[in-house]
């Protein structure tokens, strides 16, 4: 499914960027960068907080019904709040006023995220269904792009088509979840909704701070460089984010409920499982990061065309971000969060975000889009260091030499091939 999902964005990117050019591509990504924060607010920390609760209480139907209802009503409340704030920004920010249609069409994607219960499928360890829904949305979006965008002036349809595909996927996955898991909605309870927000506040602010040093860089660069330069940075940024979304995040989502269940048994089992799984994940992310670095001069023209060649140095600088994100996922998400150290996780990500933002403002002013790339690398490296030191203080050592040897990787590969062959034979 992930291979199929990987193909879809790469089909539309070369076609779309060739038609609309770097300037309009920059406009779309500027609006998307702002809307991303509203998406984060609506999704809150449910993908971590609620999925963790589901994984640890999967057999309690009453608990699942109440949690599902609380999350849904809380998302609706957050959506109404976001709509009010976005309305103010739409009238106050000149960049949004000039591209009001693009901004509104981009914001419409929130409707889809209100109804998308990915956290439930994740907690139930049924992410294959999420993959199918995502695949359907991407096929719908890809087909619509080729059908409706043929001229540069039609760039405004791209965010609308993306929003429609997400709304369709969200509503379908919502209905499917209600029927499959026999969900029964309970009446909204204000106290329960407030409790949900309080319990997930540390995780939510952690997600916000993580985006401060990645997503906000585009907004900061919009102050110092031209829209076309923003387009170049966005081209490199989008490829990196696509790689993380399709290769790193699925691994994190699949492992999180499994590791949560292990920690639910006891702390030693959770740590042991992490120690054995982490080397394989890190090797995988390092290999494709290395491919990005070496092939950068070929990848950018292949997907965007020769007019985007100025994005090559930025893409090469960002090529190892997926590897750093993978390290941070194991040390931070899988270890600290499953150890219930949400506050420490937030403090670390906040510190790294501040350092990243300061770097982005300072270097963005002097060296433009390359400064933005450096700021992202600085933030991710700081996360790695602080996560590692925090775990070391607790005498938790996830990097165990025996799991980084060639013999171990060979054994894992043989087992994986055998498991895959068995599944294919059964099917």
- Report pLDDT digits (tens) over 110-123: 999 999 998 898 88
The reported pLDDT for the residue numbered 423 is 55
Q: How far apart are CA 335 and CA 86, in angstroms?
A: 35
The reported pLDDT for the residue numbered 230 is 86
Look at residue 84 and tell me whether its pLDDT is greater than 70: yes
The reported pLDDT for the residue numbered 49 is 82
Residue with tokens 């996360």: 383
**pLDDT category of residue 179 using cuts at 50, 70 and 90:** very high
**pLDDT category of residue 174 using cuts at 50, 70 and 90:** very high
Q: What is the mean pLDDT of residues 200-224?
A: 77
Quick check: 38 and 86 in contact, CB under 8 A? Answer: yes
The reported pLDDT for the residue numbered 7 is 64
Look at residue 128 and tell me whether its pLDDT is greater than 80: no
Residue 271 burial (C-beta neighbours within 10 Å; 0-12, 13-18, 19+): buried
Look at residue 3 and tell me whether its pLDDT is greater than 70: no
Quick check: 27 and 155 in contact, CB under 8 A? Answer: yes
The reported pLDDT for the residue numbered 217 is 84
Look at residue 72 and tell me whether its pLDDT is greater than 90: yes
Q: Tell me, rounded to whole angstroms, the distance of Cα 314 from its chain centroid.
A: 20
Q: What is the mean pLDDT of residues 12-26?
A: 87
Q: How far apart are CA 111 and CA 53, in angstroms?
A: 24
What is the residue-averaged pLDDT of the chain? 86
Q: What is the mean pLDDT of residues 52-70?
A: 86
Q: What is the mean pLDDT of residues 137-143?
A: 86
- Residue 239: half-sphere exposure toward Cβ, Cα within 13 Å: 33
- Residue 113: half-sphere exposure toward Cβ, Cα within 13 Å: 27
The reported pLDDT for the residue numbered 9 is 64
Residue with tokens 């350092």: 355
Look at residue 78 and tell me whether its pLDDT is greater than 80: yes
What proportion of the chain, given as a percentage, has pLDDT over 90?
39
Determine the 3-state secondary structure of 214 from DSSP.
coil
Least confident piece of the model among 97-111, 129-143, 246-260 = 246-260
**pLDDT category of residue 2 using cuts at 50, 70 and 90:** low
The reported pLDDT for the residue numbered 6 is 56
Q: How far apart are CA 10 and CA 339, in angstroms?
A: 38
Determine the 3-state secondary structure of 368 from DSSP.
coil
Q: What is the mean pLDDT of residues 304-316?
A: 92
How long, in residues, is the chain? 427
Q: What is the mean pLDDT of residues 66-92?
A: 93
The reported pLDDT for the residue numbered 330 is 92
DSSP state of 44: T
């Amino acid at each position: 499914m992930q291979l199929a999902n990987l193909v879809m964005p790469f089909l539309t990117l070369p076609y779309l960027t060739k038609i609309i050019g770097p300037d309009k591509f920059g406009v779309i990504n500027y609006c998307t960068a702002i809307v991303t924060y509203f998406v984060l607010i609506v999704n809150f920390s449910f993908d971590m907080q609620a999925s963790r609760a589901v994984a640890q209480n999967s057999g309690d139907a009453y608990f699942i019904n109440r949690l599902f209802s609380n999350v849904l009503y809380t998302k609706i409340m957050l959506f109404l709040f976001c709509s009010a704030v976005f309305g103010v920004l739409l009238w106050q920010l000149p960049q949004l006023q000039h591209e009001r249609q693009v901004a509104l069409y981009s914001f419409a994607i929130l409707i889809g995220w209100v109804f998308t219960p990915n956290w439930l499928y994740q907690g139930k360890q049924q992410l294959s269904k999420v993959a199918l829904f995502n695949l359907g949305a991407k096929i719908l979006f890809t087909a619509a792009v080729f059908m409706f965008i043929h001229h540069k002036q039609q760039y405004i349809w791209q965010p609308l088509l993306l929003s429609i595909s997400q709304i369709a996927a969200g509503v379908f996955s919502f209905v499917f979840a209600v029927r499959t898991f026999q969900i029964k909605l309970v009446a909204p309870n204000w106290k329960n909704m407030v409790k949900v927000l309080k319990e997930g506040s540390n995780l939510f602010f952690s997600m916000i701070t993580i985006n401060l040093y990645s997503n906000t860089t585009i907004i900061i660069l919009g102050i110092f460089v031209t829209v076309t330069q923003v387009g170049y940075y966005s081209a490199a940024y989008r490829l990196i984010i696509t790689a993380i979304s399709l290769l790193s995040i699925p691994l994190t989502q699949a492992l999180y409920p499994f590791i949560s269940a292990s920690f639910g048994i006891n702390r030693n089992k959770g740590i042991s499982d992490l120690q054995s799984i982490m080397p394989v994940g890190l090797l995988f992310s390092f290999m494709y990061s290395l491919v990005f670095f070496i092939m950068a001069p070929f990848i950018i023209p292949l997907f965007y065309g020769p007019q985007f060649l100025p994005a090559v140095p930025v893409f090469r600088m960002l090529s190892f971000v997926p590897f750093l994100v993978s390290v941070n996922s194991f040390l931070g998400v899988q270890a600290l969060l499953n150890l219930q150290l949400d506050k420490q996780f937030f403090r670390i990500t906040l510190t790294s975000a501040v350092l990243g933002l300061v770097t982005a403002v300072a270097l963005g002013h002097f060296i433009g889009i390359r400064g933005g790339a450096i700021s992202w690398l600085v933030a991710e490296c700081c996360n790695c260091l602080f996560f590692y030191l925090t775990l070391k203080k607790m005498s938790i050592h996830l990097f165990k030499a025996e799991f980084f040897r060639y013999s171990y990787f060979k054994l894992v590969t043989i087992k994986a091939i055998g498991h895959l062959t068995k599944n294919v034979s059964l099917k």
